[in-house]
Amino acid sequence: MSFMRDSLLLWDIDGTLVWMDRAGERSLLLLIRELYGRDLGDKLPVALQGRTDTSIARDILAWLGVPATPEEELRFRDAYIALLPRTLPAANAKLHPGIREALDAVHAHPEIHQALLTGNLQEGARLKLSHVGIWDYFEFGAFADDSSIRDELGPFALARAKEKLGIEFPPERVFIIGDTPHDIACGKAIGAKTIAVATGSYSVEELAALNPTHTFADLSDTQALLNVVLSSLSS
């Protein structure tokens, strides 16, 4: 007999759920100018894709030659969060294809739950997703506040799932959805299934070469996404 068991989808944000039109990057550039007096034009000196805000902050501080003390990291973080409301309204931010439909479909399914697993700080995630109207889909998540190392975020998400939902999800019933190799590696670090989506900086071919459970060009086909989840969970 076929039956379903509860499953958990853990969504990345930038490049997966949304395109933020560089709002976060512009906040960092403003921060560097206003806090440290360095005008870098429109290009940051460090890579952003798939990384945690805390590790990005440390790399920027190192590049600036500023000691990354806990106090300085907190000052940096607070300034970034304070600047996001300035840069978000100017951005042409948008959801990636099919995202709202996918979130609605998962929300309506009694045995599929969804949360966030992102390199964003929690408050940054709230600001970004509230700006595009999807913050309320997510009851909990794992964020850069939890660890600067992305591969360490999975256990935080699973602990919060147990706390919020009363469900202890085994790895085979957890799906990490993201647009970078970091998301795939993060899923594999906890033995989860991985769904790669090529709506960020990496192509379908580049992502598929890393052997995720499934790769999509985008998530415009809601049923195809659900089929991947449901077919893996039915027995």
Q: Judge if 54 and 110 occupy the same domain.
A: no
Residue 41, pLDDT score: 94
Q: Is 37 left (phi over 0), alpha (psi -120 to 50) or beta?
A: left
Residue 38 lies in a domain: yes
Whole-prediction pTM: 0.94
Looking at residue 139, which CATH number applies to its domain? Answer: 3.40.50.1000
pLDDT higher than threshold 70 for residue 169: yes
Residue 2 lies in a domain: no
Q: Judge if 105 and 161 occupy the same domain.
A: yes
Q: Judge if 137 and 222 occupy the same domain.
A: yes
Q: Judge if 101 and 59 occupy the same domain.
A: no
Q: Judge if 53 and 115 occupy the same domain.
A: no
How many C-beta atoms surround the C-beta of residue 33 within 10 A? 13
The share of the chain scoring above pLDDT 90, in percent, equals 93
Chain position carrying tokens 């919020």 = 164
What gap in Å lies between CA 143 and CA 121, rounded to an integer?
A: 5
Question: What is the average per-residue pLDDT within 39-64?
Answer: 94
> pLDDT tens across 111-146, in order?
999 999 999 999 999 999 999 999 999 999 999 999
Looking at residue 62, which CATH number applies to its domain? Answer: 1.10.150
Question: What is the average per-residue pLDDT within 90-95?
Answer: 94
pLDDT higher than threshold 50 for residue 1: no
Per the DSSP assignment, residues forming a β-bridge with 142 are 117
- Contact between residue 103 and residue 137 where contact means Cβ atoms under 8 Å apart: yes
Tokens found for residue 169 = 């999800």
Compute the 3-state secondary structure of the chain and give helix, strand, coil in percent, each to the nearest 5: 50, 15, 40
Which runs of E-coded beta strand occur in the chain? Answer: 7-11, 18-19, 94-95, 112-117, 141-142, 174-178, 193-197, 214-216
Q: Judge if 130 and 118 occupy the same domain.
A: yes
**Domains: count for the chain:** 2
Q: Judge if 105 and 33 occupy the same domain.
A: no
Residue 79 lies in a domain: yes
Residue 138 lies in a domain: yes
> pLDDT tens across 53-73, in order?
999 999 999 999 999 999 999
DSSP state of 138: -
CB-based burial, 96-106: b 16+ in 10 Å, e otherwise: bbbbbbbbebb
What is the domain range of residue 53? 23-87
Q: Judge if 117 and 33 occupy the same domain.
A: no
Judging by beta carbons within 10 Å of its beta carbon (0-12, 13-18, 19+), is residue 67 exposed, middle or buried? exposed
Residue 2, pLDDT score: 38
Nearest to 158 by CA among 116, 102, 212: 116
Residue 1 lies in a domain: no
Residue 200, pLDDT score: 95
Q: Judge if 60 and 142 occupy the same domain.
A: no
